[in-house]
Amino acid sequence: MSDEHPPQALTGMVADYMEEGLLENIVIMFKHDRTLFPMVADLLQDERLRVRMGAVALVEALAEIDPEEVATIADAVAPLLRDASATIRGDAAYAVGLTGTDAHLEGLRDLLDDSFADVREIAADALAAISGRH
């Protein structure tokens, strides 16, 4: 599977569809084309709240797939754990918690000292979720 992000035009189209409430269709598309998984990182950074909320719901739906495959979502999202926005850090931590592996623990541990309590709590929950899968 490629670590490259899908074309920006496709990401924009998916974000627009997400904003229109077409989450079920997007979930089906992602389940059939796993090369789209890295797009989750872009969706989590979208300026539109509905798109970001949809991205979180998408990750929840995709987390049911084989853990090795969904770990590519965590790989793409992990850099967002250092984002300037507490909202993005929190959403990224949640997504990594659902899809991550032991390789993602260090980035989550760094958030245990975050200046925002919500981010610290989400990171702790994410660490517990990953540890609980082993």
Note the pLDDT tens digit of each residue in 40-64: 999 999 999 999 999 999 999 999 8
Question: Per residue in 82-114, pLDDT tens?
Answer: 999 999 999 999 999 999 999 999 999 999 999
pTM, full prediction: 0.91
- 7 Ramachandran zone, left/alpha/beta (phi>0; psi -120 to 50): beta
Query: Residue 16 and residue 67: Cα distance in Å, rounded?
Result: 28
The dihedrals phi and psi of 38, each to the nearest 5 degrees, come to -60, -20
How high is the pLDDT of residue 133? 82
DSSP 101: -
Domains of the chain from N-terminus onward? 8-132 (1.25.10.10)
Rg of the chain, C-alpha, whole Å: 14
